[in-house]
Amino acid sequence: MDYADGGDVHQAIKRCEGKLLPELQIIEWFVQSCFALKHVHERKVLHRDLKTQNIFLMATGQIKLGDFGIARVLDATKDYAKTMVGTPYYLSPEIIEDKPYNFKSDVWSLGVVLYEMTTLKHPFDADSLVILASKILKDQYPLPDAMYSDNLQALIKSMLCK
């Protein structure tokens, strides 16, 4: 098991102290996260708790996905999971609606991570789970700062599309 000597993305965001991350840094972490998630999904594993605290940074610049404690192996790529698990801020609409879900739910969570890297905040925030769920289902969130490219903003929008 590797030691994440660079901490995690959540800690990196906290260290920003309100100063937005450069787009190139975001893209670097995001692309590596995509490859890591693709590797996991090719093995029919649904992570189910993808969040900034579970994307670990190595001193080499490499990232690693971690905390597979609630991951589930699907029988086939078209199989679905049905249990409501995960961190509330990163739950996909399917999970909130108590519908069967699959790998697309992890992609949604990665979209939340991408949004968080561009804004240093969650796209959906609330004081209660009920209000948080409502906001996620309404699919309304503040846009990232205009300093980020149209392509990056469109990517976030496509990943958080209900």
DSSP assigned state of 101: B
Distance separating alpha carbons of residues 67 and 71, to the nearest angstrom: 8
Q: What Rg do the C-alpha atoms of the chain give, in angstroms?
A: 15
CA 111 distance to own-chain centroid: 5
Q: Which amino acid is at 19?
A: K
Give the whole-angstrom CA distance, residue 122 versus residue 102: 22
**CA separation, residue 87 to residues 18, 112, 132, 133 (Å):** 23, 11, 12, 12
Residues with a known catalytic role: 49
What is the longest distance spanned by two Cα atoms in the chain? 43
Q: Are 23 and 149 in contact (CB under 8 A)?
A: yes
